[in-house]
Amino acid sequence: MRKLFLRFIPTVILCCVGQSSVTQAQSDAAKVFKTNCVLCHSADGSGDSATGKALHAKDLRSDEVQKQSDAALTEVITRGKGKMPAFGTKIHPDGVSKLVAYIRELPKKK
């Protein structure tokens, strides 16, 4: 029984480490979103903030945004579009990828 228990310890440890890295990635993306996006897109991604309404910011939860490819969203975040400023020099490419994944989760939080 002890041998069986010892065989599963590495699996349990790997699962816990993997889970914490996923949680860390979500936390990092949430911080990036809060720092760079909330002013215009609101905490829920709706764009209902005063600034967002004035600039006609996109509702990141909308089908219009969610149907775009990851590459298209990455392009908009990195280079900007219309009134949306470019964040390519401010957010590392890995951070942009995490941000795109975070944006994909916004409709699920409605």
**31-76 pLDDT tens trace:** 999 999 999 999 999 999 999 999 999 999 999 999 999 999 999 9
- Cβ contacts of 63 within 8 Å, gap of 6 or more: none
Q: What is the extent of the structural domain holding 79?
A: 2-109
Mean pLDDT score across all residues of the chain: 84
Please state the domain count of the chain.
Answer: 1
CATH number at residue 58: 1.10.760.10
Is residue 47 helix, strand or coil?
A: coil
Cβ neighbour number for residue 65 with a 10 Å cutoff = 20
For the chain, what is the total number of helices (H) and then of strands (E)?
A: 6, 0
pLDDT given for residue 109 in this prediction: 80
Report pLDDT for 91: 95
What's the pLDDT score for residue 38? Answer: 97
SS in 3 state form for 17-75? HHHHHHHHHHHHHHHHHHHHCHHHHCCCCCCCCHHHHHHCCCCCCCHHHHCCCHHHHHH
